[in-house]
Amino acid sequence: MHTLPTATERNESPGGTTEILRYPARSLVLLGGIPGAGKSTLLSRLYGLTGTEDHTVHAPDGVRVVDSQASRNRLTPWLRPLPYPAWRWVVHVLHYLRVVAALRTGAPVIVHDTATRRLVRVLLGAYCRLKRVEVHLLLIDVEPATARVGQLVRGRMVTARSFRTHERRWRRLLAASGRGPAAVVPGAASLLLLDRVRAGRLGGIRFHARPAPVHGPAMRVLTCPAVYSAAMLAPL
């Protein structure tokens, strides 16, 4: 069983049922999946990303969306003459520096990343603990063949060798996720694993302040059946 976000809610609409995920305001949501899993599609639908951005996106609700593609777009005008594998590491460095910069603002952060690099996950978890930021994992799991089609649709194919590496690391990540979110990112508070169908039903990601503690002799615990990791205290 996976630990779920702080809260989820379902909305009925003429187009079908959608889900809204809710997290504490001081959070980083790591949106992970192998290349072609559907991460870019989700961010496009929820935040209007087009894949042409070269900067961290500031959403109207204050969320910072840090997309690795934006870092590549920013560097391309200067490094285009070189083969991409030669400067891919520079893209990664800029991407993670942007993640750190976004976290320092105090705003909630959504990071688009494959999440297949264990060292990066460990360092990200350590930095978030230092800054008292909760890490929540939102992972999209699809079959490799489906991911390959997704790469074709978006027009950004990774090499066969790179894709096999991502696929192998992703299987290890999934195996670790069975032991809980902290086995994937040390200190992570929740993990939600979606297939493409459920990712398509995701209607929004919301961040909220934690309720102020209520003092008094009589209190009750309210729980949501879909939420296993959190409860809210409210006065009777």
- Per-residue pLDDT in tens (0 to 9) along the chain, 236 residues: 345 565 566 665 555 668 999 999 999 999 999 999 999 999 999 999 999 999 999 999 999 999 999 999 999 999 999 999 999 999 999 999 999 999 999 999 999 999 999 999 999 999 999 999 999 999 999 999 999 998 888 888 888 999 999 999 999 999 999 999 999 999 999 999 999 999 999 999 999 976 544 444 332 322 233 332 332 223 32
Rounded to an integer, what distance in angstroms lies between the CA atom of residue 81 and that of residue 89? 16
CATH of the domain spanning 7-235? 3.40.50.300
Whole-number pLDDT of residue 154: 80
Separation in Å, CA 140 to CA 126, 170, 188, 199: 23, 11, 17, 7
Spatial separation of the C-alpha atoms in residues 95 and 65, rounded to whole Å: 11
Give the span between the Cα atoms of 112 and 220, in whole angstroms: 38
Residue 224: what pLDDT?
A: 31
Closest CA to 27 of 185, 207, 181: 207
Q: What is the reported pLDDT for 15?
A: 55
**pLDDT number for residue 215:** 42
